[in-house]
Structures are given as structure tokens and as C-alpha cells.
Amino acid sequence: MIAAIILAAGESKRMGQPKMLLPWGGTTVLGQVISVLHSAGVEDLVTVTGGFREQVEELAKGLGSRVVFNPEFANNEMLSSIQYGIGSLPAEAEAALICLGDQPQVQKGSVHRVYEAFQQGKSRLIVPSHQMRRGHPWLVARPLWDELLVMRSSQSPRDFLNIHAKEIEYVEVDNPSILQDLDTPEDYLRFKP
């Protein structure tokens, strides 16, 4: 079983408002991410919350995602959210997709490619790539989780990927959506449907 960890703990400082709750088509930014993951066949989703906790948790639960709160969200970057997400996964989970909650541009086909690469080859680390650039969501198999869990707050997911650079199985994706997320009002206006 592959689970998805949706990183949605940020404080949206650059956006100036809770970006997970911003309208996106007929749903919200986070709602679109959850919908794409469900449509790609991911059954177990956990949304890691922090800033705007109550609203984000209510939204995520209403869309079929479990939630876990990262009490360190204001002090740490993405790594602590990944660690809390991994800590909440069930014993039967073989791998985790690391997904950005502020990446509603993510496409079902991209998720599917990563998902299928794991099922076919059982690589421990699978990363989507567009024009030689790493994107999201990337997948990490259970044998590498302990290593992520003991990383210090001064380290980042990029450090982890760099350490394992020779092990990464890259899945080429033919669109740039895996590289796009929403950080600023300008990003939102440029990408929103």
C-alpha cells in the first residue's frame, strides 16, 4: 500500500492568506490536491497541518483525508512535517508519496507515473522529473523512513535526496506541473483555473 503525506502546515506568509483554502475551480487549493490523489488511486491520505489548523483540518477531513498536526510548524521547514506524516502512517504502508498541499496544478498522470514506477520496480526512491529538474510528489519507501525520521531540523528533504542521489529512479513527466506550487498572490493569479 502506498500512502500520501500532504504537506499543508505552512503559515502562508508570502500569500497573505491561508492558501490551502483559496478557491481553485470548483473546490479549494487543498481540495484539488486531495481530489487528484484520490483519482490516481491513492487510498490513504494524511494531511499535515500547522498554520490555520482548524480550517485546514476541517477541509481535509471533509474530503477523506486523515490529519496530523505538526506542533513545530512555525519553527521548522518541510522536514518536520514529513516526519510527523511518516509517524502517522499505518504498518501496512510500503511507501509514502510526499505531496505539496499548495500544488493544485499536480496532475493525475504524474502521480500515476510515480505510483506505477514503485509497483513495477520497487525502487526505494522515485522522483518525477521535468527537463532534468526534480519535482513533487516524490516517493520514499519504508526502508528509508528511519533515516528521514532521525534527520535534524537543520537538514532538509533536499539534503536527503542528495545523499541518495545515486539511488533515485527518475520518472520523466512531460509537463511542468510537478515543479509548480503557490507561494505568492502572483503565483495564484498566474496558475488558477
Element (H, E) at 20: none
Indicate the burial class of 107 (C-beta count within 10 angstroms; 0-12, 13-18, 19 or more): middle
pLDDT digits (tens, 9 = 90+) for 5-64: 999 999 988 898 899 999 999 999 999 999 999 999 998 999 999 999 999 999 999 999
Is the entire prediction scored with pTM above 0.85? yes
